[in-house]
Amino acid sequence: MKIKNIYLICIIILIPILFSSCSQIDTLEVKVGLKNSDFDYMKQGKVSEIDIQNERDNGYKFIITNEKAILDVYNILSDAKPATTKSNLKPDYEFDIYIKGQKDPLKFKYIVGLDSKAGGNLYSNDKCYYVPNRIDTDIIKNFDDTRTPKDFSKLYYTFIEQCITKYRNDTKASNKEIGIDMYDDLDVQKYIFSADLADFENSLPSNCKVLESENDTAPITETVTTDGYKFGSFSYKGKSLTGYLYKSTVVFYDNDTKEQKKYSIVGTYTSNDDSWNIDISSTN
């Protein structure tokens, strides 16, 4: 009995020491800049809801009310480092954090997958941070019931460039500027992130650009429309395959000559492939 009592006394003594140590470690991490305390209200049970809205797809929204999920968001945001300037890229998501007892939420804009040198990727009207972890992969994937197309950014931007090359070879419009319209490709807007888009734009030749809105123009417009994406078994060119199938339609329209040229794109990826097989064929 005496030994059991000694163990019990030791446990009672150790518990507050352990909790105190954890608190001291957290405080030290805040002091040296490894963590911030700006989001501590999230771990104190003061948040009733977090809404995460995709900025390109109004229908792509997540509402978080689960306490554990809110704590997961806190664990990422508490690692955010203060930034002096925010990135000049367009935000990918807006976060609305609802505090219990407050009518209006705290609003933050978030840009996916930036390097710290590019500036803050999480910011409000008066605060700016760099978040090292990707909130979209660490948090949003747990709520999303759709399958992100495999290698989306690699596949999508690659075939757009390949279509430009084929179009220039097929026509005499070699010097005219081409404006790439992804604005109305509604099915994939939620997979387009500003950092990936900036990398793509930087890889384009000088006589090509990405159209910023429906009002942006160019002598030739390349309109991209995703027709479908599938994972599983499918038939293609008389073969039964298992893997990934992606289909898209690209239309070039010359605003000077009023001529149009359309291409059908099929991308396949199977277990035997090291990369996507992209087939581009003219349909007119």
Q: Which of 142, 168, 190 represents a domain boundary (last residue)?
A: 142
Q: Reduce the DSSP state of residue 234 to 3 states and report it.
A: strand
At 142, is the pLDDT very low, low, confident or very high (cuts 50, 70, 90)? Answer: low
Residue 253 in tokens = 């329209």
Beta pairing partners, 178? 208, 220
Asked whether residue 132 falls in the same domain as residue 168, the answer is no
Domain count for the chain, please give it.
Answer: 2
Boundaries of domain holding 109: 33-142
The answer as to whether 268 is a domain residue is yes
Tell me, what's the pLDDT at 156?
96
Asked whether residue 178 falls in the same domain as residue 249, the answer is yes
**Strand locations in the chain, DSSP E?**
47-54, 61-64, 81-82, 93-99, 106-110, 122-123, 128-130, 178-181, 208-210, 220-236, 239-254, 260-270, 277-282
Kindly report each contact of residues 258-263 with a partner whose C-beta sits within 8 Å and lies 24 or more positions away, as own/partner.
259/171, 260/284, 261/167, 261/170, 261/171, 263/163, 263/166, 263/167
Higher pLDDT, 215 or 47: 47
Q: Reduce the DSSP state of residue 155 to 3 states and report it.
A: helix
Asked whether residue 75 falls in the same domain as residue 176, the answer is no
What type of residue sits at position 172?
K
Residues 269 and 277: beta-carbon distance below 8 Å: yes
Asked whether residue 194 falls in the same domain as residue 136, the answer is no
Among 30-34, 133-137, 142-146, which range has the highest average pLDDT? 133-137
User: What number is the average pLDDT over the span 230-257?
Assistant: 92
The answer as to whether 250 is a domain residue is yes
For residue 238, the tally of other CB atoms under 10 A from its CB is: 5
Please provide the DSSP assignment of 192-214 as one string: --HHHHHHHHHHS-TTEEE--ST
The answer as to whether 260 is a domain residue is yes
Asked whether residue 255 falls in the same domain as residue 204, the answer is yes
Beta pairing partners, 263? 250, 282
Residue 182 in tokens = 């992804």
- Which CATH number fits the domain that encloses residue 117? 3.30.1490
The answer as to whether 43 is a domain residue is yes
The answer as to whether 102 is a domain residue is yes
Helix (H) or strand (E) segment spanning residue 150: none
What type of residue sits at position 235?
S
Asked whether residue 132 falls in the same domain as residue 158, the answer is no
Asked whether residue 80 falls in the same domain as residue 197, the answer is no
Residues 230 and 254: beta-carbon distance below 8 Å: no
- Tens-digit pLDDT profile for residues 29-66: 444 345 689 999 999 999 999 999 999 999 888 899 99
Residues 6+ positions from 123 with CB-CB distance below 8 Å: 83, 86, 108, 109, 129
The answer as to whether 21 is a domain residue is no
User: What number is the average pLDDT over the span 116-123?
Assistant: 86
Alpha carbons 190 and 54: distance in angstroms, whole number: 6
Asked whether residue 229 falls in the same domain as residue 170, the answer is yes
Asked whether residue 168 falls in the same domain as residue 46, the answer is no
Q: Which of 106, 123, 142 represents a domain boundary (last residue)?
A: 142
Alpha carbons 18 and 138: distance in angstroms, whole number: 28
At 28, is the pLDDT very low, low, confident or very high (cuts 50, 70, 90)? Answer: very low
The answer as to whether 272 is a domain residue is yes
Asked whether residue 267 falls in the same domain as residue 156, the answer is yes
The answer as to whether 232 is a domain residue is yes
Asked whether residue 136 falls in the same domain as residue 165, the answer is no
What type of residue sits at position 25?
I
Residues 179 and 211: beta-carbon distance below 8 Å: yes
Range in 79-88, 146-155, 195-204, 248-257 the model is least confident about: 146-155
Q: What is the pTM of this model?
A: 0.81
Alpha carbons 220 and 34: distance in angstroms, whole number: 49
Q: Reduce the DSSP state of residue 34 to 3 states and report it.
A: coil
Q: Which of 142, 165, 198 represents a domain boundary (last residue)?
A: 142
Asked whether residue 121 falls in the same domain as residue 182, the answer is no
Residue 190 in tokens = 């939620």
Measuring CA to CA, which residue among 6, 99, 90 is closest to residue 51? 99
The pairing of strands 47-54 and 178-181 is: unpaired
